[in-house]
Amino acid sequence: MLITTTANKFLKRKTTIQLNGRIIDLAQPVVMGILNVTPDSFFDGGKYKTEKKILERAEEILKEGATIIDIGAISTRPGSGGASTKEELERLLPACMSVKKHFPEAFVSIDTYRSWVAMKVIEDCGPCIVNDISGGNFDGHMFDTIGKMGVPYILMHIQGSPLVMQENPTYEDVVRDISRFFTDRVKRLTKAGVKDVIIDPGFGFGKTMEHNYELLNRLDAFKVFQLPLMVGISRKSMIYKLLETTPDGALNGTSVLNTMALLGGADILRVHDVKEAVETVKIFEKLKASV
C-alpha cells in the first residue's frame, strides 16, 4: 500500500509551523478552507461580497473542521487577468480584518502574490500565512518581506501567469523541473530568514491534465524536501474535464483525488468543501492507524 513506504521511514519531515507564537500541528493532515472575496473565481466567485456573507462562510469553514481559512481577493483561474493592487487590497483587507476580529483563534492565510499587499494586511490585521501562487515570480520583494514579517509562506510552483499559463505548458520532467524550482526558492527563502515554508506543486497552474496526474502519481517525490506539502485540487478542471462535467459536479472526484493526495504525503488540503475533506482525512487516518 502507499500509506507506508521506504521513503516515509527515512525522511523526517517538518510537522509544525508557527504563526504568531502559536503552533499549527501537521502530524496529522489538516484542511484549509477557501474563502474567495472575488467576483470572478472559477467556482464560487461573487458569493461572498458582503461582511455578513464573509463571516457566514468563515464560520462554516471553522464549524466543518478546517484548521486554516485562506482568504483570496484576486481570481487566478486560467485566463484571468488579475486585478489592480488597489482592488485587491480593498477586498482583502476588510475581509481579513473582519474574520480576525470575529474569529480571533482562527489561523488565517492570505492568498496574494504582492509583497506590499501582504505587508499591509499583516501590519493592519496581525500575522497571517502568505499563500503566494507565483512562488516569488511576480514580486521580487516577496521573500524579503516574508522574512521581515516572520510569517509562514506557501511556496507554489507556476509556469507562466494565470492569463497564459495553460497555453501549451511544457516540461522535460514535470516532477524534476518543479523540484529544481523548489530547491532554488527554498534556498532563497532561507537566506531571507523565512522560518516556515510550505511547498505546493501548483496543480493546474501551467500544467496539462497529463502533467497534473503525473504530479499526483509521483507526489511522494517531494518528501525529499522534508517540508509540509499542500495540495489544492478542489473542483479543478483536471477533475471536471476528465469526468465531462462542471466544477459544480466535481465534488466526488475532488474527494477521490484528495484521498490520493493524502496517500502521496499531503499535509494540507486546500478545498472549497471542508466537511467532505475533513471526513476524507478522518478515514485516511483510521486506515493508516490500522497498518
Active site residues: 236, 270
| Bridge partners (DSSP) listed for residue 18 | 23
- Helix locations, the chain, DSSP H: 6-10, 51-63, 85-102, 115-125, 142-149, 174-191, 209-217, 237-240, 251-263, 274-289
Strand, helix or coil at 22? strand
For residue 18, the one-letter residue type is Q
Task: State how far the Cα of 57 lies from the Cα of 34, in Å rounded to an integer.
Answer: 9
Pairing of strands 129-132, 153-156: parallel
- Yes or no: say if 197 and 71 are a contact pair by the CB < 8 Å rule: no
For residue 177, the one-letter residue type is D
